[in-house]
Structure 1
Amino acid sequence: MTDLAERSWRLLRDEPRDGATQMALEEVAAETALEDDLRTVRVYSWEPSTLSLGYRQDADTVDWAYCEQEGIDVTRRQTGGGGIYHDRYADISYTIVAPASEVPGDLMDCYELFCEPVLAGLEAMGVEADFAAVEQSSIYYPSCYLRDINPAHDVVAPASDGVDARKISGNAQYRQRDVVIQHGSISYDLEPTHHVGVFETDLELETFTDRVTSIRNEAGIDREDAVETLATALEEWCDADEGDWRDDELEAAADLADRKFGADGWVRNREVLETGVQ
């Protein structure tokens, strides 16, 4: 348990939602943290499966025809990095939202703090994971899981394999109205066909499987157990109470998803909203 446990937190075991709504809910949670003094940790999944592009990622790196053919949604994150294919089954995602004044100002220190429950959760699942001990060079830059592996925020397993350890989780942060938002993708299983197929590239599937591992590969536990274990780790980390989204938050997120995260202008061209609207 951290010093953050002295504040008010809620744990959301969230239901599957589309990509635009998932991104909008993070910004809504930021407003709640500031205006209502309530911080959020949550575990969630994506329905339909979604490709989330990094903030500055070129839309030309996406195989739009493949995504449409396979029913894969596309949105754009506020965080940088490469695109991540969030499979409805194979991906487990989480979010941590807290006022910036309550967390380390140094980015790397904040990553270390916010990844504590992720590492604790993986350990409880039986996965020997840790921050990467060594850097690994980029294989395909547009893909988060095939970019260079950075010891600052990339989690690998088994950690004892050193340079041969494979990526199991990518994590990223951004700040919205004096609130720090960290979200991350954890591979429960591997879906290399879609992970490679969503990009405009001819990469072999082995390129992905040689670089990435999963909870199922490392520990063999059921997905439901993995989700619950991660939720428990987040809950214990900040002593959170079980919670739900309020109706007004869901309404605000639906509006923001429609105006921004689900809008073609944002997804393809990173067009900002009208002045004064976040």
Structure 2
Amino acid sequence: MTTLADRDWRLIRDEPRAGATQMALEEMAAETALSEDLRTVRVYDWEPSTLSLGYRQDAETVDWEYCQQKGIDVTRRQTGGGGIYHDRYADISYTIVAPADEVPGDLMECYALFCEPILEGLKRIGVDADFARVEQSAIYQPSCYLRNINPAHDVVAPAEDGDEAGKISGNAQYRQREVVIQHGSISFDREATAHVGVFDTDLEETTFTDRVTSIREQAGIDREQAVDTLADALGDWCGAAEGEWADDELEAACDLADRKYGADAWVRDRETLEASG
């Protein structure tokens, strides 16, 4: 338990939503943290499966035809790094949103704090995971899971394997209007075909499977149990009450998804969003 438990938090066990809406909801959570003094932790899924591009990622790295053929959405995150294929089944994602003045100002310290519940959740599941002990060089820079493994924010398993451990979670942060937002992808299973297929490259599937591991591989539990355990760890970490999105948050998120996160101007060209009328 951390001192964050002295604040008001809600835990949202979110339903599957389109990628654009999931990204927009993070901005709504930031607004709520400031206006309602209510912080958010959540776990969520992507429906349909979605490729989320890093903030500065070149859209030309995407195999748009493959994504269209396979029914894979594409959106762009506010955080940097490489693209992540969020499979409807194989990916488990989470978000933590809190006012910036309540958390460490140092980026590495904040990563360490916000990853506590993720490491604890993986431990409860039965996965020997920890921050990478050594950096591993990049295999394919446009892909989050194939970029260089960074000990500051990449989680690997089994931790005891050192530089041979596989990446199981990537985490990223950004600050918006005095709020810190951290989100991350946790690999429940490996869908190597799609993970390499969404990019305009000829990478072999083994390139992905040699670098990445998963909860299923490490612990063998079912997905529902893994999601519930990770959600419980997030809630216990900050003393969150079970909660849900307010109607006005969902309405605003749908509007923002249409205007920004689902729009080609943002996804392909990272054009600045115009204010709504």
TM score, norm. by length of structure 2: 0.99
CA shift, 1:7, in A, is 0.3
2:229 aligned with 1:229: yes
Other-structure match for 2:65: 65
Other-structure match for 1:92: 92
Other-structure match for 1:208: 208
Other-structure match for 1:83: 83
Kindly report structure 1 stretches of 4+ aligned residues shifted beyond 2 Å. none
Q: What are the superposed Cα offsets for residues 54-106 of structure 1, whole Å, 9 maximum, x if unpaired?
A: 00000000000000000000000000000000000000000000000000000
CA shift, 1:115, in A, is 0.1
Aligned 1:106-185 pairs, distance under 5 A:
106-185=106-185
The alignment's C-alpha RMSD in Å is 0.6
| Helix, strand or coil at the partner of 2:216 | helix
For residues 273 and 237 of structure 2, what CA distance do their matches in structure 1 show? 35
For residues 245 and 160 of structure 1, what CA distance do their matches in structure 2 show? 39
For residues 163 and 175 of structure 1, what CA distance do their matches in structure 2 show? 31
Other-structure match for 1:190: 190
2:53 aligned with 1:53: yes
Other-structure match for 2:264: 264
TM score, norm. by length of structure 1: 0.99
CA shift, 1:252, in A, is 0.4
For residues 169 and 236 of structure 1, what CA distance do their matches in structure 2 show? 20
For residues 200 and 168 of structure 1, what CA distance do their matches in structure 2 show? 23
For residues 190 and 72 of structure 2, what CA distance do their matches in structure 1 show? 16
Residue type of the alignment partner of 1:236: D
Residue type of the alignment partner of 2:163: V
Residue type of the alignment partner of 2:186: I
CA shift, 1:26, in A, is 0.1
Structure 1 gaps of 5+ residues are none
For residues 218 and 61 of structure 2, what CA distance do their matches in structure 1 show? 31
For residues 207 and 12 of structure 2, what CA distance do their matches in structure 1 show? 35
Residue type of the alignment partner of 1:88: R
| Helix, strand or coil at the partner of 1:213 | coil
CA shift, 1:234, in A, is 0.3
| Helix, strand or coil at the partner of 1:183 | strand
| Helix, strand or coil at the partner of 2:177 | coil
CA shift, 1:122, in A, is 0.2
Q: What are the superposed Cα offsets for residues 213-251 of structure 1, whole Å, 9 maximum, x if unpaired?
A: 000000000000000000000000000000010000000
| Helix, strand or coil at the partner of 1:208 | helix
| Helix, strand or coil at the partner of 1:269 | coil
